[in-house]
């Protein structure tokens, strides 16, 4: 029975920004659990194709689709490609995102808008692309990757924090709206995770951050991926409209 509750075999997951980091680990976790993947990248086709090869090695399959998630029409095409390949979309993981860290007094309108359009606009664009198909199927799950910064805010990240905090309002509103269609909508907020983005932070700042984490270490992308897999599985069938904080105790709500 427990095995059945975590079974996603032959389901189809669309994961944006899945060529590296948390997105890649989400894709690999779904593949290992038997799901088929629609991988998305904006510029690094080679990395996305490597992820697809790793998925094949796990005994599953994937297609690779280029799309800039801040482009509404590109997201529509991504959804259409998923349906063309597999005939269904069961899970959407909104993972693609960027940061343009700079203090508010120095931030340009372009630096504000680019982060808003990419991180928050993508939730609208991708949900519009897949929700009609989920409605037709009578079920679906959307999980958006937010951040501890959306919970706490941070100096030099007002644009990024606004998008990650905005995900909570979007998630709760959409969860209420789509519950009648048996579509669940949740968010996951990782703390500081060992990714390429983390290592753009100066080493002395990283050391200070680590000292603030009760569990004494940074997280790993696969730990976040397992939470996403849980939220998409039948085991989480009564979970919607929530935010799951995964941060080693760094921010205890």
Three-state secondary structure string covering 113-128: HHHHHHHHHHHHHHHH
**From 41, 86, 160, 230, the catalytic residue:** 160
CA distance 127 to 69: 11
Contact 186, 231 (CB under 8 A): yes
- The pLDDT tens digits for 33-64 are 999 999 999 999 999 999 999 999 999 999 99
Residue 11 parent element (H or E): none
Q: Which CATH class is domain 2-243?
A: alpha beta
- The pLDDT tens digits for 69-104 are 999 999 999 999 999 999 999 999 999 999 899 999
Q: Is 220 a catalytic residue?
A: no
The residue whose two tokens read 């996403």 is 228
**Of 89, 69, 90, whose CA–CA distance to 80 is shortest?**
89
């Amino acid at each position: 029975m427990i095995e059945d509750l975590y079974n996603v075999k032959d389901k189809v997951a669309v994961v944006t920004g899945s060529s590296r980091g948390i997105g890649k680990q989400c894709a690999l976790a779904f593949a290992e659990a038997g799901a088929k993947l629609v991988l998305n990248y904006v510029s690094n086709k080679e990395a996305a194709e490597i992820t697809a090869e790793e998925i094949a090695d796990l005994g599953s399959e994937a297609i690779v689709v280029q799309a800039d998630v801040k482009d509404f029409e590109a997201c529509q095409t991504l959804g259409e490609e998923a349906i063309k390949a597999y005939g269904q979309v069961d899970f959407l993981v909104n993972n693609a995102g960027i940061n343009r860290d700079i203090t508010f007094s120095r931030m340009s309108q372009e630096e504000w808008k680019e982060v808003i359009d990419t991180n928050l606009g993508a939730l609208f664009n991708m949900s519009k692309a897949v929700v009609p198909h989920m409605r037709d199927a009578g079920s679906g799950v959307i999980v958006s990757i937010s951040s501890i910064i959306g919970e706490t805010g941070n100096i030099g990240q007002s644009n990024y924090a606004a998008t990650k905090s905005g995900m909570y309002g979007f998630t709760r509103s959409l969860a209420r709206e789509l519950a009648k269609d048996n579509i669940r909508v949740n968010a996951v907020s990782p703390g500081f995770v060992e990714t390429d983005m983390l290592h753009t932070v100066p080493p002395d700042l990283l050391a200070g951050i680590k000292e603030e984490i009760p569990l004494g270490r940074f997280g790993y992308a696969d730990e976040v991926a397992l939470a996403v897999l849980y939220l998409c599985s039948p085991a989480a069938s009564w979970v919607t409209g929530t935010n799951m904080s995964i941060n080693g105790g760094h921010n205890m709500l």
